[in-house]
Structure 1
Amino acid sequence: MGSNVGTADRVIRIILGLAILSLLFILEGNLKYLGLIGLIPLITGLVKYCPLYSLFKINTCQKK
């Protein structure tokens, strides 16, 4: 499993993931658990691998 998420894509995913996770603290009731969706972009940004990118043969990493 090689990395397929580039640097700019990683930064965007991590920031977006943290922003969505903040909904856990902002929203009330059962609606706040939608913030857990933020784990998906956060984890894919941290591990530099996106399963959907592999499925569609997308690679945003710079070629070495």
Structure 2
Amino acid sequence: MKINEGTLDRVLRVGGGLALIALAATNTVGVWGYIGIVPLVTGAIGTCPVYTILGFNTCPLRRR
């Protein structure tokens, strides 16, 4: 899979994912907060399947 997320996009995804997981773990937002695993994983690997489907690319590297 090609990387299709830029640095800022990845940082925001990982931070948001960790925040949601932390809120879920402390029962602040309930179990649905564990959906934060999705942005955490996509930010960690640098590829978003939805971006691929829609043709988005926030990675500043040369687009192939």
TM over 0.5: yes
1:43-62 superposed Cα distances (whole Å, 9 cap, x missing partner) = 00000000000011000001
Q: Aligned equivalents of 1:3 and 1:21: distance in 2?
A: 24
Other-structure match for 2:25: 25
Q: 5+ unaligned residues in a row in structure 1: which ranges?
A: none
Q: 5+ unaligned residues in a row in structure 2: which ranges?
A: none
- Give the superposed CA RMSD: 1.4
* Contact 1:23/1:34, CA 8 A, preserved across alignment: no
1:7-49 superposed Cα distances (whole Å, 9 cap, x missing partner) = 0000000000000001222226xx6211210000000000000
Tell me how many residue pairs correspond in the alignment: 62
Larger fraction in helix: 1
TM (norm. structure 1) is 0.86
